[in-house]
Structure formats: structure tokens, C-alpha cells
Amino acid sequence: MFGYRISWSQLAWLGHRLSGIGILVYLFMHIVENATLAFGPDVYDLTQTFFRNLPVRLGEIVLMAALVYHSLNGLRVIAMDFWPATTVWYRPLTYAVIIGTVAAMIPLGLIMITPYAPWNGS
């Protein structure tokens, strides 16, 4: 796929960029969805029913994962920008960001999927 060996910093950078674009696109849709509040409870409550199903919930879990990764990786970038000595630890810090994201998403993903999970009979 790549004509050269891809480094962790490039992968972390690509992940930051993709998660950022994903969250921004979601934000634009979220503003439109919230605008239905102006049309009163009937319209808003009907709109909300479109979001109560497994595919949407899986998308929300991906959104949560993108936000957790973008937050943790952003904190790493800020640390390296304002405290250049930490760039020596860029590789362990990058691993920590990835492990932290996965570790956070295990409980968060389980909580979020529970009401729509196939194993809960819905």
C-alpha cells in the first residue's frame, strides 16, 4: 500500500487527521439535527426515534472512539509542543495513546451498545 515503511508518528498523524475530519462532519450533521428543536416536541421527538437503533449506535461508538483518540493524541502533541524534552518519549507516548484509547473504549463501547446489542434480544 505504501512504497516505504510507515512510522508510528505518521500513523498517529493520519489517525489524528481522519478522526478530526470524522468528528467535524458529525458536528455539522449534529447542528442540523439539533435545529429540529425549534419546531417543537413533536418534530424533535420523532427525529430522535431515527437514532435509536443498532447501526446508529455503532456509529456513535466509532464517534466516541474517534473523540477519545483525538483527545489523547492531541494531549500528546501539546505536551511535545510546549515541552520539547518529551519528544524523546514519542514512541512510548504514542503506544500509550493507542492503549489508552482501546482501554477506554472497552467499558464505553459495552455501556453504549448494551440496549441495542443482538445478545440482548433487540
Partner 1 sequence: MAIGRRIWPVEGDPLRRNPSRAAQPRPSEPGFERWMWYFTRISGLALVILAMGHMLIMHVLVQLTGQEINFAFVTSRWGSPFWRIYDLLLLVLALAHGVNGARIIIGDYIERGGLRSLLVGILLAITFIWLLMGIFVILTFDPATAPAVGPFS
Smallest distance from partner 1 to CB 48, Å: 6
Give the footprint of partner 1 on this chain (CB under 8 A).
9-10, 13, 16-17, 20-21, 23-24, 27-28, 31-32, 34-35, 37-46, 48, 52, 60, 63-64, 67-68, 71, 74-75, 77-78, 80-82, 87-92, 108, 111-112, 114-115
Report the residue number, 24 or 106, with the smaller CB distance to partner 1: 24
Give least dist CB 109 to partner 1, A.
Answer: 11
Alpha-carbon distance 102 to 74, whole Å? Answer: 16
Q: How far is the CB of 85 from partner 1 (least distance, A)?
A: 9
